[in-house]
Structures are given as C-alpha cells and as structure tokens.
Amino acid sequence: MNRIFLAGLLCMFALPVFAVEVAGVKINDSVQVGTQALVLNGAGVRNKWMFKVYVGALYLPQKQASAEAVIADEHAHRVVLHMLRDLGSKKLYGAFSEAIEANHTPAELLALEAELKQMAQIFESIGKAVQGDVIALDYLPGNGTQISVNGAPRGTIAGSAFNRALLKIWLGGKPAQESLKKEMLGG
C-alpha cells in the first residue's frame, strides 16, 4: 500500500505544473531561459476580429504589473505564443511589424531597420505557423532575442533595443490588444 502511495506521489511531482488554462491551452507556471528560472507573469488570448489567433504568455524573473518596468528591464524573459489557428509567415510578421510601427517614431524604426529585416527573414524561414505550434521569444542579456518554434531555434537577433521593440507589441502604449496587455501583466 505504501509503495502505491509513494509511486503516485512521485508521478504527481514528475508531471509539469500548469498555472492556468487559457482557451484550452495549458500554460506552465514557470520556464527556464538559459540559466534563469522565470515565473508566469500573465497570459491571455489575442483576438483579431472574431478569431482567436494565439494565447500569449509572459515570463519574468519575478511578477511585475508595470509595462514600462518590464520593457525597461534588462533581465532574461520569455514571451510565448501558443497558436490557435494557422497563420502564414507574412501575416504573422506583418502583425508584428504593424504593432512595432505603431509604438515607434520613424527615427526609432530607422534605427531598428537591420533587426526588423532579420526578423522578417526568420519568419520567412518558418513559412507557416499552424494551430498547436508554440513560438517562443527568449531574451538573454548579452545574446539577444532567440526565436524558436516548437523548441527548435530559428534565429537570434542581437540587441536590447530590438527586444524592447518586441515587448511593445504586447505592452507598449499602442499594444496589439489592450485586454491581452492587461492579462500579460497579471490583470
């Protein structure tokens, strides 16, 4: 009897721990980026018109409710997109690019031109994100932002300025979706 109880207890601790479920997607309560353990700050659904596009989750070293503080922070973090529908690379990149443009001046965009071109090439190499794919955007200070799909690295873009531009997609003054911003900030 004790062996069965012990085996059950061990199995329980061997399973991944999920903090929440959003739109049918189980969201881990913590992740590891490099050597940094990160906690789930918040997660929500990105809607476009009447379609659910993805579940976005933000992981930070510690919980934070201020968008400005998250954007300015130089610690490791992760944004994860759990795709809820198929999207071609041009549409996905177009949505990212549109949100970046909305949150930056022409001069700031000009300074990010090389990084945005590199991001376009990475998304082009992805081809198509399909329902169930997981896109991770990991920031490691000194290395830059690594973009991966289903755990496979697709490219790294150097610079903290580019990473701040990416974060503004969800957390900027003109986010892709205000309700998603609130949810990613734990609201």
Q: What single letter denotes the amino acid at residue 74? A: E
Tell me the pTM.
0.88
Residue with tokens 């189980």: 26
Q: What is the pLDDT along the chain (187 residues), one digit of tens a residue?
A: 454 444 444 444 444 455 688 888 999 999 999 899 999 999 999 998 889 999 999 999 999 999 999 999 999 999 999 999 999 988 889 999 999 999 999 999 999 999 999 999 999 999 899 999 999 999 999 999 999 999 999 999 999 999 999 999 999 999 999 999 999 999 7
Question: What's the confidence (pLDDT) of residue 141?
Answer: 94
Q: How far is CA 168 from CA 18, 102, 128, 175, in A?
A: 26, 9, 23, 7
Question: What's the confidence (pLDDT) of residue 18?
Answer: 57
Q: What is the DSSP letter of 174?
A: S
Q: Is 17-184 a CATH 3.40.50.720 domain? A: no
Q: How far is CA 119 from CA 35, 46, 141, in A?
A: 25, 20, 18
Question: What's the confidence (pLDDT) of residue 97?
Answer: 93
Sequence ranges of the domains in the chain: 17-184
For residue 39, what are the β-bridge partners? 30, 60
Question: What's the confidence (pLDDT) of residue 135?
Answer: 96
